Amino acid sequence: MTMIKNDLFLRALKGETVERPPVWMMRQAGRYLPDFMKIKEKYDFFTRCRTPELATEITVMPIRQVGTDAAILFSDILVVPQAMNIEVEMKPGVGPWLPNPIRSAQDVKDAVVPNVYEELGYVYNAIKMTKKELDNEVPLIGFAGSPWTIFCYCVQGQGSKNFDKAKQFCFSNPVAAHELLQKITDTTIAYLKGKVEVGVDAVQVFDSWGGMLSPEDYQHFSWKYIQQIIDALKDDIPVIAFGKGCWFALEQMSQSGVSALGVDWTCSPENARKFTNNSITLQGNFDPSRLLSPIPEIERMTIEMIDRFGKDKYIANLGHGILPNIPVDHAKAFVNAVKNYKAK
Residue 185 near residue 151, CB atoms below 8 Å: no
Q: Are 247 and 237 in contact (CB under 8 A)?
A: no
**pLDDT at residue 182 in the model:** 98
- Residue 260 has phi, psi (to 5 degrees) of -155, 160
Q: What are phi and psi of 196, to 5 degrees?
A: -60, -45
Task: Consult the annotation and say whether 255 binds a ligand.
Answer: no
Is 27 marked within a binding site?
yes
Residue 178 is assigned to a ligand binding site? no
User: How many CB atoms sit inside 10 A of residue 1's CB?
Assistant: 6
Q: Which domains does the chain have, with CATH numbers?
A: 8-339 (3.20.20.210)
**What local confidence, expressed as pLDDT, does residue 343 receive?**
80
330 carries a ligand binding annotation: no
Question: pLDDT truncated to tens, each residue of the chain (344 aa)?
Answer: 579 999 999 999 999 999 999 999 999 999 999 999 999 999 999 999 999 999 999 999 999 999 999 999 999 999 999 999 999 999 988 899 999 999 999 999 999 999 999 999 999 999 999 999 999 999 999 999 999 999 999 999 999 999 999 999 999 999 999 999 999 999 999 999 999 999 999 999 999 999 999 999 999 999 999 999 999 999 999 999 999 999 999 999 999 999 999 999 999 999 999 999 999 999 999 999 999 999 999 999 999 999 999 999 999 999 999 999 999 999 999 999 999 999 87
Q: Is 290 annotated as a binding residue?
A: no
pLDDT of residue 93: 86
- Is 117 annotated to bind a ligand? Reply is no
Give the max Cα distance, the chain: 60
Per-residue exposure over 137-161, b if at least 16 CB sit within 10 Å of its own CB, e if not: ebbbbbbbbbbbbbbbbbbbbbebe
DSSP state of 200: -
Binding residue per annotation — 29? yes
- The alpha carbon dihedral of 117, 120, 124, 125 has a sign of positive
- Do residues 284 and 338 make contact, with C-beta atoms less than 8 angstroms apart? no
Contact between 206 and 153 under an 8 Å Cβ cutoff? The reply is no
For 319, phi then psi, to 5°, come to -85, -5
Question: What is the distance between the alpha carbons of residues 54 and 66, in angstroms, rounded to a whole number?
Answer: 18
Measure Cα distances from 253 to 97, 125, 277 in Å: 31, 32, 11
Q: Which of 219, 191, 209, 84 is nearest to 152 (CA)?
A: 209
171 is in an annotated binding site: no
CA-nearest of 154, 130, 117 to 75 is: 130
Alpha-carbon gap, residue 321 to 77, rounded angstroms: 13
- 275, 215 contact by CB (below 8 A): no
What phi, psi does 240 have (nearest 5°)?
-110, 135
The answer to the question of whether 249 is labelled as a binding residue is no
